[in-house]
Amino acid sequence: MSKNIIKTQAVKKTFEQGKIKVRALRGIDMEVKKGEFTAISGPSGSGKTTLLNMIGCLDNPTSGQVEVAGKEVSKMSKTQMANLRLHKIGFVFQAYNLVPVLTAFENVELVLALQGVDKKKRKKLCLDILEEVGLKELASRRPAEMSGGQQQRVAVARAVVAKPALILADEPTANLDSETGARLLEMMRKLNKDHNITFLFSTHDKMVMDYSSRLISLSDGMIKNDILKQQN
Amino acid sequence: MLLLKMAFRNLWRRKSRTILTMIAIGFSYGLLLFFVQFTTGSHEGMIDTGVRMQAGHVVVQAKGYSEERKITENISKPELVLQQIKEIVPDSNVAQRIFLTGSLSSSSGNTILDNLVGVKPAVEKKISQIPEKLIKGKFLSGTKGEIVIGATAAKLLKVDLGMKVQLSISDVNGNIKRSALRVRGIFKTGGLTVDRGYALISLKQTQELTKMDSAVTQLAIFTDLASSEKIASRLKTKLNTTELDVLHWRDAMPMLAQMLWVDTISMYVFLFIILGIVSAGILNTVLMSVMERTREFGVLKSIGMSPWRIFMLIMYEAVFTAIIAIFVGMILGLSLSYYLSIHGLDPAVFVEGEQGMEAAGIPMTNLMYSKVTLYSVVWTAISVIVLSVLSALPPSIRAFRIKPVKAVRDL
Ligand SMILES: Nc1ncnc2c1ncn2[C@@H]1O[C@H](COP(=O)(O)OP(=O)(O)OP(=O)(O)O)[C@@H](O)[C@H]1O
Ligand SMILES: [Mg+2]
């Protein structure tokens, strides 16, 4: 008996550039349950990023409804959306995720600080999560002093630290070599299992698709395939 | 706290740009601070000179005296008025004076006196700048038959210390009175008309010559400049009779007041120009730094930082820049100002060679001193900070509005 973290209904998104209309999403209906580790694949321009943005409350759909953690998003104000992101959603982007002037520790701490968690508790949570992603030793380094893989692990730690309902990751391994990418995925899979956090990826990466428990393929702004794999 | 930390560290991401901006703001602020303090100080100096020569911080005179300055419009019982004044401002110096016009002649020449002042030497010594300006002889001693004149007058009359001059004035009935006086002292202020037409004799003798008995034309009250306005209004309520007028120095010396006012206005114009430059500097720097960081703000917003926090982040950055710059500028401006508050600046540097600098009948030859006050430091600093907040407004609003999608799109 697992409830839905994400529910979209007939989500459409049309970008208008002058006279040209780009129909990035053409009616997406999908549901994601708690604890799923889902990958969205599809050719470039198929609408993966656009879909993640709708789910992540970064952008509003042209029509249709998006529900995240039981809340209807489309009627929310900007501040309400910011609040939902802060408390319910973690983000990992392709690159440049981190605040350059903050250390690894502070980058992770930022989310908790914004949530108003007190300092002592923040410290413990941050050190624990950095330990989990294997970066405790690099806690006081700034992003510029870390490798791309290390930076992505900090980004994952930041996304996970507040135990959000959902983590959205837009091509998190795209800038990493396959070995580093694999380790990042391994780590995320472990966090997914240990903390029962829902992950939703977009990816071109075959390996990410292999790791996922569910694979949704997009094509031309529509869902072409939705395969629930055997849990391993 | 993390926000403040971020703001502070963000300043040093573009070190040279930030430092350059800080230097520009700091330099402008230092200049501004110095300029304000120097203007204030030099104005106070001019007021002081004016007040000592012609009026007082507050002046009491007969109603209607201002119009033609006739000696018939006088205060007939000055001792009574003096008592009343002392009740309100006990620790002030009050000079009793008679202002006259007349002429001086000697065997070899004559000259007009625009300001022949009858004074009580003992009191006047404490007030007047003339004793310091004497180039020869001494100030009035109080005995009859003495006069102190300016260097130009002495030259025109071809007289020297101890020599006789003939004074002609008219008494209260309009009759010409003559009196032979000896030159007791010769002063030089550098003011053209002052050195020719300003002279001092004893009050008692003036009263006798003019048949004024114990009357005077002016009671000049010396307190301190800052409280002069308050004292003037208190004296006004107390001495407000049909016979007496109480004037603040501004009303007693309207020409001087107007001149200083014009100078103050030009100071504010200068101030505005400087602040305009500061404003443009901050706007430019902050705007550039916001535009460079569009993506970063996108990320911050995605992870749930509210637009207001982003707005504040930019504001903090601008205010930090201003505060650091202000400290640097303060050191600069205050050291210059402090130096000139001790050593003064010779006004001759502003004018080419020529002697005789004067404004509104007051010699402008004294050294000009800057006035270091906490108040001026604070209000100029606050203006710069307020200005930096205002200048950072457009870029902050821009950052406020950045859409979080930017984080994902603009790779
Ligand atoms: N802001 C925008 N303005 C105009 N068109 C846009 C905008 N964002 C996306 N699009 C268009 O919408 C379509 C879907 O884009 P989207 O970025 O979602 O694809 P994607 O599947 O993430 O591609 P990729 O694999 O290259 O990241 C594309 O045709 C794209 O050009
Ligand atoms: Mg994409």
Q: Is A45 in the pocket of ligand 1 (CB under 6 A)?
A: yes
Residues in chain B: 411
Is residue A113 within 8 angstroms of chain B, CB to CB?
yes
Q: Are B39 and B90 found together in one domain?
A: no
Q: A15: CA distance to ligand 1 center in Å?
A: 9
Closest CA to ligand 1's atom 4: A15
Q: Are B116 and B243 found together in one domain?
A: yes
Q: Are B25 and B96 found together in one domain?
A: no
Domain with A71, as residue range(s), is 4-228
pLDDT at position A10 over 50: yes
Rounded Cα–Cα distance for residues A194 and A132 (Å): 11
Q: Are B84 and B201 found together in one domain?
A: yes
Distance of residue A113 Cα from the nearest chain B Cα, in angstroms? 8
* Residues of chain B with C-beta less than 8 angstroms from the C-beta of A158: 303
At B354 the pLDDT is 56
- Residue where a domain stops, chosen among B221, B252, B283: B252
* Residues of chain B with C-beta less than 8 angstroms from the C-beta of A90: 303
Point out the ligand nearest to the CA of residue A169: 2
Chain B's closest residue to A79, CA to CA, is: B306
Q: Which ligand 1 atom minimizes the distance to the CA of A13?
A: 12
Q: Residue A121 belongs to a domain with what CATH number?
A: 3.40.50.300
Closest CA to ligand 1's atom 1: A15
Closest CA to ligand 1's atom 5: A15
Question: How many structural domains are present in chain A?
Answer: 1
Q: What is the mean pLDDT of residues A116-136?
A: 92
At B411 the pLDDT is 46
What is the token pair recorded at B355?
């002697």
Is residue A53 within 8 angstroms of chain B, CB to CB?
yes
Element (H, E) at B117: strand B109-119
Q: Is A21 in the pocket of ligand 1 (CB under 6 A)?
A: no
Q: What is the mean pLDDT of residues A41-56?
A: 92
Distance of residue B26 Cα from the nearest chain A Cα, in angstroms? 25
Residues of chain A numbered 10-29 and touching chain B (CB < 8 Å): none
Q: Is A15 in the pocket of ligand 1 (CB under 6 A)?
A: yes
For A173-227, write each residue's pLDDT tens digit: 888 888 888 888 888 898 899 888 999 999 988 888 888 889 999 999 999 988 8
What is the token pair recorded at B325?
């710059």
At B377 the pLDDT is 93
pLDDT at position A31 over 70: yes
Confidence of residue A1 (pLDDT cuts 50, 70, 90): very low
Chain B's closest residue to A202, CA to CA, is: B408
Closest CA to ligand 1's atom 3: A15
Is residue B410 within 8 angstroms of chain A, CB to CB?
no
Question: How many structural domains are present in chain B?
Answer: 2
Distance of residue B302 Cα from the nearest chain A Cα, in angstroms? 7
Taking only the tens of pLDDT, chain B with its 411 residues reads 788 999 999 999 889 999 999 999 999 999 999 999 999 999 999 898 888 888 889 989 888 887 778 888 888 888 888 888 888 888 888 999 999 999 999 988 889 999 999 999 998 988 888 998 999 999 999 888 899 999 999 999 999 998 999 999 988 888 999 999 999 999 998 888 889 999 999 999 999 999 988 899 999 999 888 888 898 888 888 887 778 889 899 988 888 899 999 999 999 999 999 899 889 989 999 999 999 998 899 899 998 898 999 999 999 999 999 999 999 999 999 999 999 999 988 877 776 655 567 777 777 778 889 999 999 999 999 999 999 999 999 999 999 998 888 766 654
Catalogue the long-range contacts made by A142-145 (C-beta closer than 8 Å, 24 or more residues apart). Answer: A142/A100, A142/A101, A142/A102, A142/A103, A142/A104, A143/A98, A143/A99, A143/A100, A143/A104, A143/A107, A144/A100
At B304 the pLDDT is 87
Is residue B15 within 8 angstroms of chain A, CB to CB?
no
Q: A19: CA distance to ligand 1 center in Å?
A: 17
Q: Are B120 and B193 found together in one domain?
A: yes
Q: Are B210 and B311 found together in one domain?
A: no
Chain A's closest residue to B7, CA to CA, is: A101
Residue with tokens 């992770």: A108
- Residue where a domain stops, chosen among B202, B225, B252: B252
Query: Parallel, antiparallel, or unpaired: how do β-strands A222-228 and A214-219 relate?
Result: antiparallel
Is residue B313 within 8 angstroms of chain A, CB to CB?
no
At B355 the pLDDT is 57
Chain B's closest residue to A164, CA to CA, is: B303
Q: What is the DSSP letter of B345?
A: B
Q: Is the separation of the CB atoms in A203 and A171 below 8 Å?
A: yes
At A18 the pLDDT is 84
* Residues of chain B with C-beta less than 8 angstroms from the C-beta of A202: none
Q: Are B126 and B180 found together in one domain?
A: yes
Got the DSSP string for B216-257?
BSEEEEE--STTHHHHHHHHHHHH--SSEEEEEHHHHSHHHH
Q: Which ligand 1 atom minimizes the distance to the CA of A202?
A: 22
Domain with B108, as residue range(s), is 56-252
Question: CA geometry: angle at B19 spanning B18 and B21, to 5°?
Answer: 65
Q: Are B65 and B98 found together in one domain?
A: yes
- Residue where a domain stops, chosen among B252, B280, B300: B252
Q: What is the DSSP letter of B58?
A: E
Q: Is A90 in the pocket of ligand 1 (CB under 6 A)?
A: no
Is residue B9 within 8 angstroms of chain A, CB to CB?
yes
Q: Are B16 and B110 found together in one domain?
A: no
Point out the ligand nearest to the CA of residue A170: 2
Closest CA to ligand 1's atom 22: A49
Q: Which ligand 1 atom minimizes the distance to the CA of A16?
A: 4
Kindly determine whether residue B296 and residue A87, on different chains, have CB atoms separated by under 8 Å.
Answer: no
Which amino acid is residue B298, in one-letter code?
Answer: G
Residues in chain A: 232
Q: A64: CA distance to ligand 1 center in Å?
A: 18
Q: Which residues pair with B312 in a beta bridge?
A: none
Element (H, E) at B135: strand B134-137
Q: A93: CA distance to ligand 2 center in Å?
A: 10
pLDDT at position A3 over 80: no
Q: Are B40 and B69 found together in one domain?
A: no
Q: Is A50 in the pocket of ligand 1 (CB under 6 A)?
A: yes
Is residue B14 within 8 angstroms of chain A, CB to CB?
no
Q: A82: CA distance to ligand 2 center in Å?
A: 22
Q: Print the SS3 string covering chain A.
A: CCCEEEEEEEEEEEEEECCEEEEEEEEEEEEEECCCEEEEECCCCCCHHHHHHHHCCCCCCCEEEEEECCEECCCCCHHHHHHHHHHHEEEECCCCCCCCCCCHHHHHHHHHHHHCCCHHHHHHHHHHHHHHCCCHHHCCCCHHHCCHHHHHHHHHHHHHHCCCCEEEEECCCCCCCHHHHHHHHHHHHHHHHHHCCEEEEECCCHHHHHHCCEEEEEECCEEEEEEECCCC
Q: Are B388 and B346 found together in one domain?
A: yes
* Residues of chain A with C-beta less than 8 angstroms from the C-beta of B407: 58, 91, 93
Kindly determine whether residue B300 and residue A102, on different chains, have CB atoms separated by under 8 Å.
Answer: no
ipTM (interface predicted TM): 0.90
